[in-house]
Structure 1
């Protein structure tokens, strides 16, 4: 899937998780670009607050971009399936047309033989007619034909009807394919628009501000990891140990092998991934075929609670289920976060969790 699109570059090397900085809607609405007052030297605290505002806005844009990415993935999946259907129908039309032509040749041979033996010219005309139904309706012609000719004509009539039906299906399928392709392009533009806006916002930061932003994000990641570790320790001390199935272990091993590979929206590997593309590929490596889109993966799996969570289960995020990661234990997951990042290990607590599902 990834061959037709290029990863975006130039975005901050490690923009933080989208939920790492919590700000109110009013705060997001007041985000301003830097450089508006060159004469005023902002304090460290005010600059940090402004950077956090930018990060919060960028995180929100990444979240929106991922929502659009999942819609893009769904549209592409639908377009791919529709293209396959259309191709199959067109192949069937071609196959049946070849048979029809062979039957037409047979009828032509019968007509020629009848003409040479003194048959009526009208009979020959009917035999070569384009409308087999009209031919069959002329009983006085059929009476003069042999059994083999009648059988060939019936075959010809049936094949003509079947081809007409198959062509109608193919036309309908191609129309649906066109609709799916238009939806795909729409969602692709939506993703690109969000990513472009995020990049422009990040470009307003100076090198010093970007460094400070990275430090803030690193601290937020550390805090989230500590919280996840504490939660995991508390949970394990009060419940029985969990086991990892062979298939889950294979899925995790595959995901670990992808660490460091770039996030690219719509990508399913092997060189880059988006969130649901990574989880789909990981479970495919374990011999389990799961749907392409995060929301569909959630519906496909068996729902489990937080206390039942085991390595290999998928963790889904946000109310609309626009992100997914592969749980590996100890409150950690492997996931492909968003454009500008790479496949990495992160605490599941860094984003609002929508639910959990087991793929086996």
Structure 2
């Protein structure tokens, strides 16, 4: 299942709207199943649709969560810049204060310098004609302070903007989380409404692939990092699907790919859509172990090709990391990292 786990209107904002639209369709699809109706193919198809729609929303959640991480780091950096600039302003004021003290001890402080050292030095800067009352050194220090104050104001505004964007992102992440959880719960309820035999049939059908998909590509990975990622993915077999998770105890689909390649020293994007462009596109017929196999036209699901027509992937809640046929659903692209 899709991976669960960037200041102008961002791609995330557009993705959020798309996810809401998708989930509205999911709700409508759920409403088409009559209450008390006997389990049948339509119910299983609705389960499939809900899982696919929840997977798309999960990817939107992952993107939002990744964006929040970036903003959190940027906000911290902005706060550090503000602190450094404030210290520069303080140092410049101390320097000017020392000059004023020296003037006072030598016969009195210049009125213009007294005004500068008031609570609002900008008042002085509005009367630049008084600069001729200052010594050359004092004038230079004053200009430095003027520049520092302007820089400080700009840094503060940028930091505030980062914090506002971060709060907006946090709110959106929380909304996505609730939405995904509702869709997944609806899918599980529908699936649990099926008799045991039909649930087993659904599980078997979800693992079936198209004929003639074995023997693709070579038997070995195309690179050492691909081989290391394959070994990592195999070590995750049996771990539970956890939406929004990227290991090591649970995974969603893109989280498993990200974690597996991290063990090989390669940083992949968090979402399956991002992973689609994390390397070179190759034909499915040339797939090698370690290649990423993207599914559906929107690349909302991803698995790792393991050879012999099989992938390892994190399917959906309730299904652990496992092998499945590479043709279990429509393949949109194959990426060699």
User: TM tier, shorter chain?
Assistant: 0.7 to 0.9
What is the distance in 1 between the residues matched to 2:206 and 2:55?
A: 20
Describe how 1:339-350 pairs up with structure 2 within 5 A.
339-350=317-328
8 Å contact from structure 1 (residues 114, 124) kept in 2: no
> Residue 193 of structure 1 corresponds to which residue in structure 2?
182
Q: Determine the C-alpha separation between the residues in 1 that align with 2:71 and 2:291.
A: 30
Matched-pair contact (CA < 8 Å) for 1:115–1:124: no
* Shift in alpha-carbon separation, 1:331–1:291, aligned structure 2, 3 A: same
Q: Alpha-carbon deviation of 1:133?
A: 4.8
Compared CA separation, residues 142 and 347, structure 1 to 2 (3 A): same
Q: Are positions 1:303 and 2:281 aligned together?
A: yes
Q: Which residues of structure 1 form unaligned runs of 5+?
A: 6-26, 37-46
Alignment of 1:9-28 (within 5 A): none
CA shift for structure 1 position 267: 0.7
- Larger mean CA deviation between 309-318 and 97-106 belongs to 97-106
Larger Rg: 1
| Change in 2 beyond 3 A, CA 1:276/1:182 | same
Q: Which residue does 1:166 correspond to in 2? A: 155
Aligned to 2:239: 261
Query: Which ranges in structure 2 are unaligned for 5 or more consecutive residues?
Result: 6-28
Is residue 267 of structure 2 the alignment partner of residue 285 of structure 1?
no
Give the CA deviation at 1:138.
4.3
Equivalent pairs counted in the alignment come to 310
Separation of aligned partners in 2, 1:203 and 1:348:
27
- Normalised by the size of structure 2, how large is the TM-score? 0.83
Counterpart of 1:204 (choices 193, 203, 207) is 193
Match of 1:104 among 68, 93, 105: 93
Alpha-carbon distance in structure 1 between the residues aligned to 2:296 and 2:260: 22
Which residue of 239, 243, 246 corresponds with 2:224?
A: 246
Q: Aligned in 2, Cα 1:305/1:190: closer, same or farther, shift over 3 Å?
A: same
Tell me the alpha carbon deviations over residues 213-249 of structure 1, each in whole angstroms, 9 at most, x when there is no partner.
Answer: 343145436753xx55x4324x56xxx7665321111
Counterpart in 2 of 1:18?
A: none
Retained in 2: the 8 A contact 1:328–1:334?
A: yes
Q: Aligned equivalents of 1:93 and 1:214: distance in 2?
A: 59
Aligned to 1:115: 104
Q: Distance in 2 between matches of 1:176 and 1:31?
A: 40
| Structure 1 residue 33: Cα displacement | 4.7
Root-mean-square deviation (Å):
2.6
